[in-house]
Amino acid sequence: MESNDDPDEDHLTSYDIQLSIQESIEASKTEFCPERFVPLSDQNRKLVKAIKQGHILELQEYVKCTYALDEADEKGWFPLHEAVVQPIQQILEIVLDASYKTLWEFKTSDGETPLTLAVKASLVENVRTLLEKGVWPNTKNDKGETPLLIAVKKGSYDMVSALLKHNASLDQPCVKRWSAMHEAAKQGRKDLIALLLKHGGSVHLRDGFGVTPLGVAAEYGHCDVLEHLIHKAPSFPNPARC
């Protein structure tokens, strides 16, 4: 029997494992999701109403009927999707703890995950709660946006920091390979650029058109960002040619 001495082949990184889980979840959606959209049970309606109205005591009772957490409406929204866009952190914690972990990554009909919805709603504490509970930080929505890219677009230092703390990938390509670094340069956010660089962001990363974050900063006239990037990459070519 042949033995495999290559440690790279024998060892799956945590990213590989998470990716495998994601692929399994995606493959299961076609089989399971459609039948969960309709009809909704009375218990599900009560549960969602309690979420929207912030009735914590009622919600704690309703989540005991776990089947109600496993039903989605015509928009593909499960109770967890409703909970992540509500401003009361305890509401999310109750629903998240009661939901199956497979639901943590399920997408709405519009292709949004619980985490991307929370980021788009600019609910920093909800984002932190999801990440601390173990929600994967790198699942893209159907537009190809990572939670990190969305957080940079929203201009939230706190959300970007939370995502990076929980190992959000800086190199994960989004639409047209537009990265969080490119977006921060476009926004002229020197503070976000510094934060991304601190966590391993690359000045040399190129988008689908071959443009670097330095080139983006030059294009949009953000001189302070441009100077900061040049300082971090002194050997970088003239930004006018990027």
Q: Confidence class of residue 176 from pLDDT cuts 50, 70 and 90?
A: confident
Residue 1, pLDDT > 50, answer no
Residue 22, pLDDT > 80, answer no
**Residue 13 or residue 159, greater confidence:** 159
Q: How far apart are CA 186 and CA 176, in angstroms?
A: 15
pLDDT digits (tens, 9 = 90+) for 58-80: 999 999 999 999 999 999 999 99
Name the percent of the chain lying above pLDDT 70. 81
* 181 falls within a domain: no
pLDDT at 232: 82
* 80 falls within a domain: yes
- pTM assigned to the model: 0.82
How many structural domains comprise the chain?
1
At how many degrees (to 10) do helices 157-165 and 124-133 cross?
0
* 122 falls within a domain: yes
Q: How far apart are CA 211 and CA 4, in angstroms?
A: 41
At how many degrees (to 10) do helices 89-98 and 124-133 cross?
30
* Structure-block tokens of residue 176: 């047209």
Peptide bond into 39 cis (omega under 30): yes
CB 140 within 8 A of CB 146: yes
Q: Confidence class of residue 190 from pLDDT cuts 50, 70 and 90?
A: very high
What would the mean pLDDT of 89-116 be, rounded to a whole number?
A: 98
What mean pLDDT is reported for the chain? 87
* 17 falls within a domain: no
Q: Structural domain of residue 54, as residue ranges?
A: 40-138
* 237 falls within a domain: no
Residue 103 maps to which CATH number?
1.25.40.20
Angle, alpha carbons 73-74-78 (nearest 5°): 30
CB 29 within 8 A of CB 56: no
* Structure-block tokens of residue 160: 């970007």
* 89 falls within a domain: yes
* 106 falls within a domain: yes
* 30 falls within a domain: no
Residue 206, pLDDT > 90, answer yes
pLDDT at 10: 45
